[in-house]
Structure 1
Amino acid sequence: MSEFAGLKAIVTGGASGIGAAIVAELERQGAAVAVLDLNADQAKPLQFTCDVADTGSVNAAVAAAADALGGIDIVVNNAGIGAAGDIAGNDDAEWARVFSINVTGISRVTRAALPLLRASDHAAVVNTSSIGATAGLPQRALYSASKGAVLSLTRAMAADHLREGIRVNAVSPGTADTPWVGRLLSAAEDPAYERAQLEARQPHGRLVSADEVAHAVAYLASPRATSTTGVSLAVDGGMQELRLRKE
């Protein structure tokens, strides 16, 4: 029997991309999973409309999901948005919007689920950070700042809730083959060239797949990882740590 059998999870941003892959992986391993997404399909079971930038929406969605699942053991804070440009590339309103979704959204969702996590014997929170938190990437000032905040928040949450039996970790993907990256590439003057550049900067020479990120999230959320907390697991083809010689 899977270690996830009988466990209940919520995944924000779970309707597409990396979030959908996480949902599929947790379900494959035996968890019951509710999707919380701004674009949730209300015709599907266990999908709930949730705007992580709005406290009322979050509270309602988490409560509905918990009622449908019969509790919450695992929270995957995956919802997020991108942003392009240098430090002058976005105005104050956009900085506030991105941080509200990418950072404060984690606080809203986890806060709403906290009483249920405290009641669980296998409570785990996994936040989606990014290679942008640990490597300086061009034209990603706002996005990188938000994901750096996610990384710091993850460690602070882990310290606050460890003695309550709640583990908190982060997954930090490299550039992944997702719809958002696809839209960026399609808008480029030379999409094939831009894709080649993204692939080349990751030591294994390709984009990260959504499934690879999902496998890492499942490890971090697993009851078998009881001594893993406060860490950031890079899924980036070696970009964070490796410095290869040119061939």
Structure 2
Amino acid sequence: MRQGRLEGKTILITAAAQGMGRACALACAAEGAKVIATDIDAAHLASLAQESSAIQTELLDVRDAAAVQALAARTPALDVLFNCAGIVANGTVLDCTEADWDRSFEINVKSMFQMTRAFLPAMLAHAKADGGSVSIINMASMASSIKGFANRAAYGATKAAVIGLTKSIAADFIRQGVRCNALCPGTVDTPSLRGRIASAADPVQAEKDFIARQPIGRLATVDDITPLVIYLASDESQFVTGQALLVDGGVTI
């Protein structure tokens, strides 16, 4: 596969300090993009910036509407916005507290609403001026949004909402050069997952249970996910919009 598939593109990624966001920031930079990596984790952002001169880091709490707007005001028009921030709340609808429900929607859905509202106007103008297209990628999940899973009431509701928001943006702006797609991974081996495994009553069994969900027989790695992000960010996916793309190791077969 050729290199430089994102040459000349400016890409902003939220939650880029660790896990999938970090891996995607490095992968996009390796393909020639200028990457703006945002997160609330200053230490991990600093180490990310040291790995590539093509990565600019910005401290950003995606829940802070004023901070989001301020960053948009000082940022050149994006070619790609990757809304990657998200959390996992455990529990059934009876277990889920109102606070957990609200926090899940605030981080998993409202942040995407705020980021898109802030950055889309300049992206629209950029697409019109260049006669090309721009891309928004939203992090969804196969868990409970595509396939039901136990103890994921709030998480599943938010990720289903992400898919709905994605399709709405795609439909509203398709004739103005905007593509919007949702990425739906299976269970990915990230620091977040490792934290959830470690906090389980039986971590060894918890890891086995997570692996068992994938018929392919293993957890996904971040390197299983980054190629699809590169594809959706690149001009190769110019005919793809409004889709929920699964990378799930066969979970939803």
- Tell whether the structures are fold-level matches, with TM greater than 0.5: yes
Are the aligned partners of 2:96 and 2:153 in contact in 1 as well (CA < 8 Å)?
A: no
Q: What secondary structure is seen at the aligned counterpart in 1 of 2:12?
A: strand
Q: 2:138 aligns to what SS in structure 1?
A: strand
Task: Measure, in 2, the Cα distance between the counterparts of 1:122 and 1:73.
Answer: 8
Q: 1:130 corresponds to which letter in structure 2?
A: S
Does 1:104 find its partner at 2:110? yes
Q: Choose the corresponding residue for 2:41, options 39, 42, 56.
A: 39
Other structure's SS at 1:213 match: helix
Of 213, 219, 229, the residue aligned with 1:217 is: 229
Task: Pick the aligned partner of 2:4 from 2, 5, 27.
Answer: 2
- Is it true that 1:50 corresponds to 2:56 in the alignment? no
Structure 1 residue 90, shift from structure 2 partner: 2.1
| Residue number in structure 1 paired with 2:71 | 61
SS in structure 2 at match of 1:82:
coil
Query: Whole-Å Cα distance in 1 between the matches of residues 103 and 35 of structure 2?
Result: 28
Find the counterpart in structure 2 of residue 27 from structure 1: 29
- What is the CA–CA distance in structure 1 between the aligned matches of 2:118 and 2:42, rounded to whole Å? 19
Q: Measure, in 2, the Cα distance between the counterparts of 1:18 and 1:169.
A: 17
Residue of structure 2 in register with 1:245 after alignment: none
Amino acid at match of 2:141: S
Q: Report % sequence identity.
A: 36
Structure 1 segment 1-247 matched on structure 2, within 5 A: 2-41=4-43, 43=46, 44=49, 46-64=56-74, 66=75, 70-118=76-124, 119-120=126-127, 121-132=132-143, 133-240=145-252, 242=253
Please, which runs of 5 or more residues in structure 2 have no aligned partner? 50-54
TM-score by length of 1: 0.91
Residues 40, 75 of structure 1: alpha-carbon distance in 2 compared, 3 angstrom cutoff: farther
AA partner of residue 221 (structure 1):
A
CA distance in 1, matches of 2:60, 2:93: 30
SS of residue in 1 equivalent to 2:238: coil
Q: Is 84-93 or 23-32 further displaced after alignment?
A: 84-93
- Name the CA distance, whole Å, in 1 between partners of 2:121 and 2:93: 39
> How far apart, CA to CA, are the structure 2 residues paired with 1:107 and 1:228?
21
Aligned-residue offset at 1:195: 0.8
**8 A contact 2:4–2:30 mirrored in 1:** no
- The aligned length equals 237
Q: Please give the root-mean-square deviation of Cα atoms over the aligned residues, in Å.
A: 1.5
Q: Distance in 1 between matches of 2:216 and 2:61?
A: 35
* SS across alignment from 2:37: strand
Provide Cα deviations, 1:15-54, integer angstroms capped at 9, x if missing partner: 1100001101111111100011121457546111111112
Query: Is 1:177–1:208's contact at 8 Å kept on the other side of the alignment?
Result: yes
Alpha-carbon distance in structure 1 between the residues aligned to 2:163 and 2:95: 23
Contact preservation (8 Å) 1:36, 1:61: no
Distance 2:16 2:219 in 1: 20
The CA deviation string for residues 130-165 of structure 1, in whole angstroms up to 9 with x for no partner, is: 012111111111111100100111111100111110
